[in-house]
Structure 1
Amino acid sequence: MEIEVVLNAGAAIGESPTWAPAEKALYWIDVKEPALYRYDPATGNQRSWSMPNDIGAFALVSDPPGAVVALGQGIFRLNFASRSLARLAPPPFDPALFRFNEGACDSAGRFWVGAMFDPLDPTAPSQKSSLHSFTLADGLRPEADVSELHNGMAWSPDGNLFYLSHSQTKEVLAFPFDPINGRLGTRDLFVRISPMLGLPDGAAVDSEGGYWCALHGGSRLRRYTATGEVDRDIALPVSQPTMCAFAGEALDVLYVTSSSDKLTPEQLQSEPLAGSLLRLRPGETGVARHCMLR
């Protein structure tokens, strides 16, 4: 399978590729740069919006055009034209211990955003923080899940199942999901990742219900069937893929972000594509992922 290098970006932590169908454009972030990017596949042009501190996730908004961004100091609204930031909510945790990590919109336009234990003091004992949901009307709402590191958010094609990774424990969980009220049911274990394959990171779902998981440290994308069976591995030219997203008019293109963070100088020399944005055609088509917050 041909794997195309779209941008040899050298991102510290490239993350959250998100296809905006109305714009035919791909948005993505570099958590530690920190910046939000908009890539136009038709022209190869890219715009960027620098952030004042770590950006862990984002959702697009339409009026005026912009994004809601989950930053180290809280939830902010970014105006694309003016580049201004207005804080909508303070962080729901101690920012000296945690930052936001990964986010996705459900079919009703709620923005689900996770957390990562990322202390300024590396000797701080490990702790967990809550998953949250956010709307412009109701603000941040804590949800009934806690983890050291949330990842892997995706919904089944019918929207009634929510996937979420607890990366540090190498588990992908599945929750029954009420799309009308945005409520999670009792979680079940979907898959457990072998320690030899790294961590379950970001994910996407295809039209057959297959769950595509980026294995951070495992140099691959892995597709699981809807019943949790390993279906296929796709080897990648980067050791730390972070997330994948279906894109294109037919949703038959898969973009993959990656990280160069914490690689040694020797590893970076042997892995020149670390931090790149990659593209491939896996043979499956994806589910249209909601990207607009309401």
Structure 2
Amino acid sequence: MADSPSIRVLDPSRCHLGEGPSYDPATDTAWWVDILENRLFELPLRAGAGPAKVHALPFMASDVAAIDAERHLLSAEDGLYLRTIRDGRLSLFCPLEAGDAGTRSNDGRVHPSGALWISTMARDAEPGRGAIYHVAGTRVTRLFSGLTIPNGIAFSPDGATGYFVDTDEGVLRRVALDPATGLPVAEPETHYDYSGGEGGIDGAAVDAEGLIWTARFGGACLDAYSPAGERVRSVPVPVRQPTCPTFAGRGLDHLLVTAAYEGMDAAERAADPEHGRTLLVALGTRGLLEPAFRLDA
């Protein structure tokens, strides 16, 4: 079940808590953030384009989502922000838990309908303070609460199934959705129970065949789960704490994978030479491009 495809370090920068990667096929550019250091990274994937350009942010951001050629959406500690790519200008689009200074945004993914699923969690990972929201335009609907570290948000190719996990619990869940809106039409069910395993399920992305690719934080690998709920493939990666994948490259046949050194002491970092570095993994599997967020959804 395990294999070793070609993997390269995309950029030498180390992220304290890398997250929220995004890929722009029009410019062949990768974007990702370092939540804890208030940084946004920009790097064309063409050979010799590095190192990444680093943009300082005035807040903690956890996810980058496409809007159009001029703008993208940043999920931040107090809301969702529009960012103009040309000059980096930021404007608040929609508040999210803005009145709770003890929480921040975490994992996010755009549904095929153009609505965003975005999670929040306590800054100190206090149990039960996490939630997952559905954002359509500026309409915010809380879907699930009582979570600790909400992650693994992803959608089936037809938009009829959503996936998510509470990394602290370790159970990957699926929920039936209205494909036209991305809103649940049933209660979540267990898709795969990984509780008690090495590391924890973190971010996720779905490929063209419907396999759910997840980063295993603390487990130094990526895992693929079938729509039927079986783990069908594992890919070791040279970082102990991978955090979130997204499909990238002209053929959408690579996974752009962020990583983190959060919580690692000096000895653990020394034992993990590539800690916190962003990877490009040549899977040989075609993925799906994350849809753009619709401002008028």
TM-score (norm 1): 0.90
Q: Identify the residue that residue 34 of structure 2 maps to in structure 1.
A: 30
* Shift in alpha-carbon separation, 1:226–1:262, aligned structure 2, 3 A: same
The separation in 2 between residues aligned to 1:23 and 1:218, in whole angstroms, is: 33
User: Which residue number in structure 2 is paired with residue 180 of structure 1?
Assistant: 180
Separation (CA, whole Å) in 2 of partners of 1:194 and 1:19? 31
What aligned pairs does 1:106-125 form with structure 2 within 5 A after superposition? 106-119=111-124
Q: Which amino acid aligns with 2:29?
A: A
The residue type equivalent to 1:176 in the other structure is: A
Q: Partners in 1 of 2:8 and 2:60 — Cα distance?
A: 28
1:3 alignment partner, SS class: strand
Aligned: 1:40 with 2:44: yes
Shift of 1:75: 2.2
Give CA-to-partner distance per residue, 1:174-205, whole Å, 9 cap, x none: 01111213311321111111423211100111
Q: How far apart, in 1, do the equivalents of 2:210 and 2:93 lie?
A: 35
**Cα distance change, pair 38–291 in 1 and its aligned pair in 2 (3 A):** farther
Measured in 2, the distance between the counterparts of 1:242 and 1:131 equals 18
Equivalent pair of 1:12/1:32 in contact (CA under 8 Å): yes
Which of 30, 53, 58 does residue 52 from structure 1 map onto? 58
Shift of 1:89: 3.0
Asked if the contact 1:144/1:184 (under 8 Å) is kept, the reply is no
Tell me the distance in 1 between the aligned counterparts of 2:83 and 2:32. 15
Q: Kindly indicate whether residue 93 of structure 2 is the aligned counterpart of residue 88 of structure 1.
A: yes
Deviation at 1:109, TM superposition (A): 1.3
Give the match for residue 75 of structure 2. 70
Quote how far apart the aligned CAs of 1:144 are. Answer: 4.1
Segments of 5+ residues of structure 2 without an aligned counterpart are none
Alpha-carbon shift at residue 2 of structure 1 (Å): 2.4
Alignment of 1:158-237 (within 5 A): 158-185=158-185, 186-237=187-238
Q: Cα gap change, 1:18/1:83 in structure 2, threshold over 3 Å: closer, same or farther?
A: closer
Residue 48 of structure 1 aligns with an amino acid whose one-letter code is V
Letter in 2 for 1:148: T
Cα RMSD after superposing both structures:
2.0
Check 1:126–1:153 CA distance in 2 against 1; reply closer, same or farther (3 A cut): closer
Structure 1: runs of 5+ lacking an equivalent: none
8 Å CA contact retained: 2:106, 2:150: yes
Q: What CA distance in whole angstroms lies between the structure 1 residues aligned with 2:99 and 2:238?
A: 36
Asked whether the equivalents of residues 31 and 64 of structure 2 are also in contact (C-alpha less than 8 Å), the reply is no
| CA apart distance, 1:269 | 1.5
Shift in alpha-carbon separation, 1:206–1:62, aligned structure 2, 3 A: closer
Quote the residue 1:101 is aligned against.
Answer: 106
Please name the residue that 2:140 is paired with. Answer: 140
SS at match of 2:41: strand
**Alpha-carbon displacement from aligned partner over 1:152-174 (angstroms, at most 9, x marks no partner):** 11111222111111111111110
Q: CA deviation at 1:230?
A: 1.6
Alignment-derived partner of residue 23 in structure 2: 19
* 230-239 or 41-50: bigger deviation: 41-50
Take 1:135 and 1:153, find their aligned partners in 2: how far apart are those partners?
16
Q: Which amino acid aligns with 2:74?
A: V
Identity %: 25
Aligned length: 288
> What is the TM-score of this pair, normalised by structure 2?
0.90
**Partner amino acid, structure 2, of 1:37:** F
Amino acid at match of 2:30: L
Amino acid at match of 1:2: S
Which residue number corresponds to residue 10 of structure 2?
A: 6
Structure-2 separation of matches of 1:100 and 1:79: 20
